[in-house]
Amino acid sequence: MRRLLLAALALPLPALAQTMDVATLRDAALTDTVAWGITEGLTTEIGPRLAGTPDEARARDWAVARLKALGFANVRIEPYQMPVWVRGEERAAIVSPFPQPLAITALGNSGATPAKGLEAEIAFFPTLDDLKAAPTGSLKGKIAFVSHTMAATQDGSSYGAFGAVRRAGPAIAAQKGAAAIVIRSLGTEHHRNPHAGSTVFPAGTTAIPAGALSVPDAEQLERVLNRGKPVRLRLTLTPRQIGMRESGNVIAEVPGSDPAAGIVLIGGHLDSWDLGTGAFDDAAGLGITTAAAKRIMDAGRPRRTIRVVWFGAEEVGGVGGAAYAKAHAGDRHVIAAESDFGADRVWKFDVALPPESVAIGDRLATALAPLGITRGSAVAGNGTDIGPTLAQNVGAVDLAQSGLRYFDLHHTPDDTLDKVDPVQLQQNVAAWTAMLAVVANAPESIGPFRRK
């Protein structure tokens, strides 16, 4: 005990005070209820929140009321306009050689079939590269079917590896002359839940009907194709583009004591796909980051301003993040971080800090270790919403959640509140609270971080 006391007294006073404060705040956050309250309230009182729809508008109003009630300052909505796509009828069935229905959902920005649907022969491609290799015009009058081998990983890297099947596959099929495309969902579970998500048709490419089959149905279709007979599919997808509509970002702040020290930007996204209630993706992320910011606010005034943003229209292409970065390009952001990977335990962290601020990373390692969080070796900067801000030479902290369950639920009807584990949610809040306590109060200057 004497040796511990002498070691503590040998520390500079600011470092000693900060270590004790961070630990106290972190440990208290393990009993947090604010994050659950936000997650439960948003999913129960609003439900699905497709970008640019009246449901997302109701969610913005709900967010303003909740953030004001929690005591945040400068709460406001920053609106912007965006093109809006909405879902229609969705049906798919094998016509021959073995007639049977398939579970399908349209991808965001999908084109539409005729109201009565279309019927055509399947052209099967085991991978996206196989589709790319198809001769131009070879798919005329056919429905392309593209599969993949995505598997669950802790860091979610499999999504990065196979995501182009959804994002780029439909446009490639259209350029090859396909009448439509179906893909194996970007998911890792074996429920008959197709996974939604956006695709992109570049300028000059006509949007074709594009749908995602549930994983079991995609595997069933592959087995039918492997029988060696021609396979015909009937597909009905009737989504439509409804023109420009309003979306917006909801902003709240914990004002700092030193405006010159800069802004720590945190948050998640308010919108969701319309198949579930968006609990994992991303009501929980909003709950986690907001609860952590409130804990810092309630503990006293931090050195740096903490700005909490509930970004709109993330799912349809990061519209809210781009709008925020444009509107706030003149603000001095020093660190940005977002929570958009569910609600399971944080297992590692990474940083992107300028040379003069490297000691912050060391203090984070000390603060997060008791939560079972190790330091990674990657350069932080993960997140669709903060990406445009990070591009303005802003540093980052990533608090990486386990992704082993995430793509079982991502963009599906199963993304609902019952999948959120309250204890793991609290571990997230504790991690974010510790991170903010270190970063927002760090005595160092945090200058620009220039990514190579």
Q: Is residue 206 part of a domain?
A: yes
**pTM score of the predicted model:** 0.94
Q: Is residue 318 part of a domain?
A: yes
> Is 15's pLDDT higher than 80?
no
Three-class secondary structure of residue 415 per DSSP: coil
d(CA 253, CA 446): 19
Number of CB atoms found within 10 A of residue 133's CB: 11
Terminal Cα-to-Cα distance of the chain (whole angstroms): 47
Q: Is residue 317 part of a domain?
A: yes
Query: How confident is the model at residue 13, as a pLDDT?
Result: 33
User: By 3-state DSSP, what share of the chain in percent is helix, strand and coil, each rounded to 5?
Assistant: 40, 25, 35
Q: Is residue 114 part of a domain?
A: yes
CATH number at residue 109: 3.50.30.30
CATH number at residue 284: 3.40.630.10
- pLDDT band per the 50, 70, 90 thresholds, residue 269: very high
- pLDDT band per the 50, 70, 90 thresholds, residue 18: very low
Q: Where a domain ends, among 238, 261, 284?
A: 238
Average of per-residue pLDDT across 256-265:
97
What's the mean pLDDT when you consider all of the chain?
95
- Buried b or exposed e, range 36-67, using 16+ CB within 10 angstroms: bebbbebbeebbbbbbbbebbbebbebbbebb
Claim to verify: residue 230 and residue 262 sit in the same structural domain: no
Average of per-residue pLDDT across 245-263:
97
Query: How confident is the model at residue 452, as a pLDDT?
Result: 76
pLDDT per residue as tens digits for the range 164-187: 999 999 999 999 999 999 999 999
Query: How confident is the model at residue 5, as a pLDDT?
Result: 35
With the C-alpha atoms ordered 272, 277, 279, 283, is the resulting torsion angle positive or negative?
positive
As a whole-number percent, the residues of the chain with pLDDT over 90 amount to 95
Q: Are 352 and 380 in contact (CB under 8 A)?
A: yes
Q: Range of 204's domain?
A: 88-238
**Half-sphere exposure in the Cβ direction for 6 (13 Å, CA):** 3
Q: Where a domain ends, among 204, 238, 272?
A: 238
Average of per-residue pLDDT across 401-429:
97
Q: Are 251 and 141 in contact (CB under 8 A)?
A: no
Q: Is residue 331 part of a domain?
A: yes
- pLDDT band per the 50, 70, 90 thresholds, residue 16: very low
